A and B are shown apart, each in its own frame.
Chain A
């Protein structure tokens, strides 16, 4: 649940930006012959919802009902007493607090007056069946999954969105340097998290995720815990600023004797960057990754190379670019993405290098240079 700084600066993100996004979504709705869409979100998966509303259900759930030709309504399970705070973060004027999202959506759709023949649902995994069924039961219309089309629109970023991604990346990068300076042998996973919580949140971040993999762990990145870290650990940080996320992954060598081994992942990171600069801009995701793999996977220690789509408004669970709406998207920008390279050394050191990149005006920018 979110407990960082959530705000809306109308100069940085004017209402006109939401008008533009809404118009784009409605154009896509017209192509799909949708009379309305319902965009659902909760405290941990709010990206689709906040894209059109700048509303973040920090501990509960919410949904936007966007008719094709009528003003939208936002419904949320947060209490009505929070309305003054809601009004500081969202441009939506029509907000209803309810215990039952589905019936509240259905009631609104029924009240519009215009015939509703087909509704698009957005949010894939997090959209509850009970919400869709309440709408279908009352409206009796066809329901389709509009998520892929909607998320395809989100991949391409405006300059304003990229500025927030840059800021999130800057917080992640500087906070990682703080962590690196504070790291010491025998610190626990909780102590790693404590350093990051302080560094990230006092810089004004909205939210933070931190996963680590200590030396010898065979189960990949996990939530920090009380185990003491000896010579080495890998850490993945996701930082949200004003709704937009950046990610960074690094390996930290606490034992000097191990440090030389880290140079190999840095070598790969450098190769990835160089390859990105040479090849990415004019290519779509699939041939790019295929070529990257063929060049790098000769080394069997390199266990994975992943390129994650960054919809900008989701921390984890960003789909792999090859299986997402971005698979056929030419990576010319403006957009941002994460590139992750992992390799295992000697069965006990899981090396990680993950960075956030931005493509704008056909140029590539590394946003996490630390």
Chain B
């Protein structure tokens, strides 16, 4: 059996908190859906991580919860992993869903979490079978609860961050001219599994610095003088952490050092100034202002960068997006990435990012690995 990520009392507390938050959505019932890509909401409330698409848990103030899964095999896994006493298979046929739901006293309005990816055939079946019910999007209610992390959740993110740190240190030891980009990823993925990371997400780019973004690896071969940028994002017991790092194969040029210095100061500005009550927009601005003051204000636009960070937790990229114009209020207990990754004409696209816990006293970085522009020493020709 997979280790439990929380005692039933904690998971029940989450359920109760969610039911309390449903009042403003005009209902007491919610169906939380998991697609294959977006499973995190179901996992958060049940401790069950689906292996097949199409799981859903139903919570109601009037009834015990119901977890619906597509197959009997999935049912056996769900029963082993989750705290939900009633797990039912709909046997791969969504026409069986109404039969299961009709055993449940659903109110006239039923909330759905996962609205953006709730499938067309499920919605059609529910509307056909329950023509008098209203189905409404309550995904924000789930996000509003998940975004504030407990101490147990923070420990898991810290553990994931420690694996990211170790994977990066290991990468620095092994990276060298002649490696293909996808061979680098193979080494990192293997290291993370050995370190008990259950999953990872990694992007990278290498070359002279003309990339505008990181991407999945190619078969490009690393050469002396290359800039190598990457993000490493291990997952531990459901929770992701991420670090973004930049390396030079050989010695860094003055221009790259100058560009990296701006990037470093921008991130440090974010670390130093993040606090509860601040908006995501303000956190982005304190980073962007460093670029502006250095004369590179035009490079903080969407053309050259995505944002100055984002939330992180059971999914790799969660609310809020740290970008100017986003008035989302930051609170103690949230974990956000601070990464002022940017293309600058001095250097090309460079990255630097770390997860930060927002506390009453400010930000606390959850990763510990070096944040400088790493220079990969190249062995003398005769010794390679």
**Residues of A with Cβ closer than 8 Å to B?**
1-7, 42-45, 58-59, 61, 79-82, 84-85, 88, 121, 124-132, 145, 188, 190-191, 193-195, 197-198, 200-202, 204, 211, 218-226, 316-317, 323
Q: Is the interface of A mostly helix, strand, loop or mixed?
A: mixed
Residue among B52, B194, B316 with the highest chain A CB neighbour number at 10 A: B194
- Are A194 and B193 in contact, CB atoms less than 8 angstroms apart? yes
- Are B213 and A191 in contact, CB atoms less than 8 angstroms apart? no
- Are A81 and B76 in contact, CB atoms less than 8 angstroms apart? no
Q: How far is the CB of B60 from chain A (nearest CB, A)?
A: 22
- Are A128 and B118 in contact, CB atoms less than 8 angstroms apart? yes
* Mask of B211-235 contacts with A, CB within 8 angstroms, 1/0: 1110111110000000000000000
- List 6 A–B pairs whose Cβ atoms lie within 8 Å, in order of A's numbering: A58-B216, A85-B215, A126-B119, A128-B116, A220-B73, A220-B76
Of chain A, the residue at the smallest CB distance from B194 is: A194
Of chain A, the residue at the smallest CB distance from B119 is: A125
Q: How far is the CB of B381 from chain A (nearest CB, A)?
A: 25
Q: How far is the CB of A312 from chain B (nearest CB, A)?
A: 18
* Mask of B145-158 contacts with A, CB within 8 angstroms, 1/0: 00000000000000
- Are A194 and B191 in contact, CB atoms less than 8 angstroms apart? yes
Q: Is B104 an interface residue (CB 8 A)?
A: no
Contacts of B191 in A (CB 8 A): 194
- A80-B302, A219-B80 as given contacts; A190 in contact with B194, CB under 8 Å: yes
- Are A129 and B182 in contact, CB atoms less than 8 angstroms apart? no
Of chain A, the residue at the smallest CB distance from B94 is: A125
Whole-angstrom CA separation of A220 from B1 in the bound complex: 11
**Residues of B with Cβ closer than 8 Å to A?**
1-3, 35-37, 49, 51-54, 73, 76-77, 79-80, 92, 115-124, 181-183, 185-187, 189-191, 193-198, 200-203, 211-213, 215-219, 302-306, 316-317
- Are A129 and B36 in contact, CB atoms less than 8 angstroms apart? no
- Are B304 and A225 in contact, CB atoms less than 8 angstroms apart? no
Q: How far is the CB of B159 from chain A (nearest CB, A)?
A: 12
Of chain A, the residue at the smallest CB distance from B2 is: A225
- Are B53 and A317 in contact, CB atoms less than 8 angstroms apart? yes
Of chain B, the residue at the smallest CB distance from A58 is: B216
Of chain A, the residue at the smallest CB distance from B92 is: A323
Partner of B202, one of A3, A84, A195: A3
Contacts of B52 in A (CB 8 A): 316-317
Q: How far is the CB of A211 from chain B (nearest CB, A)?
A: 7
- Are B193 and A81 in contact, CB atoms less than 8 angstroms apart? no
Of chain B, the residue at the smallest CB distance from A59 is: B201
Whole-angstrom CA separation of A327 from B207 in the bound complex: 49
Whole-angstrom CA separation of A27 from B2 in the bound complex: 49
Partner of A127, one of B119, B200, B212, B216: B119
Whole-angstrom CA separation of A136 from B163 in the bound complex: 46
Whole-angstrom CA separation of A42 from B73 in the bound complex: 24
Whole-angstrom CA separation of A128 from B306 in the bound complex: 25
Counting from the closest, the 6 A-B pairs by CB-CB distance are A201-B186, A194-B193, A198-B190, A129-B123, A202-B186, A5-B182
Contacts of A191 in B (CB 8 A): 193-194
Of chain A, the residue at the smallest CB distance from B200 is: A3
Of chain B, the residue at the smallest CB distance from A1 is: B201
- Are A129 and B122 in contact, CB atoms less than 8 angstroms apart? yes
Whole-angstrom CA separation of A3 from B193 in the bound complex: 14
Whole-angstrom CA separation of A169 from B341 in the bound complex: 38
Whole-angstrom CA separation of A346 from B62 in the bound complex: 44
Partner of B216, one of A2, A61, A190: A2
Residue among A42, A201, A225 with the highest chain B CB neighbour number at 10 A: A201
Whole-angstrom CA separation of A368 from B183 in the bound complex: 24
Whole-angstrom CA separation of A5 from B304 in the bound complex: 24
- Are A125 and B121 in contact, CB atoms less than 8 angstroms apart? yes
- Are A198 and B186 in contact, CB atoms less than 8 angstroms apart? yes
- Are A79 and B216 in contact, CB atoms less than 8 angstroms apart? no
Whole-angstrom CA separation of A3 from B316 in the bound complex: 14
Contacts of B118 in A (CB 8 A): 128-130
Q: How far is the CB of A258 from chain B (nearest CB, A)?
A: 22
Contacts of A7 in B (CB 8 A): 218-219
Contacts of B200 in A (CB 8 A): 3
Q: How far is the CB of B91 from chain A (nearest CB, A)?
A: 11
- A1-B316, A202-B186 as given contacts; A193 in contact with B193, CB under 8 Å: yes
Contacts of A132 in B (CB 8 A): 120
- A2-B216, A3-B203 as given contacts; A198 in contact with B189, CB under 8 Å: yes
Of chain A, the residue at the smallest CB distance from B38 is: A42
Contacts of B304 in A (CB 8 A): 81
Contacts of B53 in A (CB 8 A): 45, 125-126, 317
Whole-angstrom CA separation of A202 from B35 in the bound complex: 29
- Are A124 and B216 in contact, CB atoms less than 8 angstroms apart? no
Contacts of A200 in B (CB 8 A): 186
Of chain B, the residue at the smallest CB distance from A206 is: B216
- Are B201 and A226 in contact, CB atoms less than 8 angstroms apart? no
Contacts of B182 in A (CB 8 A): 4-5, 201-202, 204
- Are B119 and A128 in contact, CB atoms less than 8 angstroms apart? yes
Q: How far is the CB of B360 from chain A (nearest CB, A)?
A: 33
Whole-angstrom CA separation of A88 from B219 in the bound complex: 12
- Are B37 and A45 in contact, CB atoms less than 8 angstroms apart? yes
Q: How far is the CB of B351 from chain A (nearest CB, A)?
A: 13
Contacts of B212 in A (CB 8 A): 81-82, 84
Q: How far is the CB of A62 from chain B (nearest CB, A)?
A: 12
Of chain A, the residue at the smallest CB distance from B39 is: A44
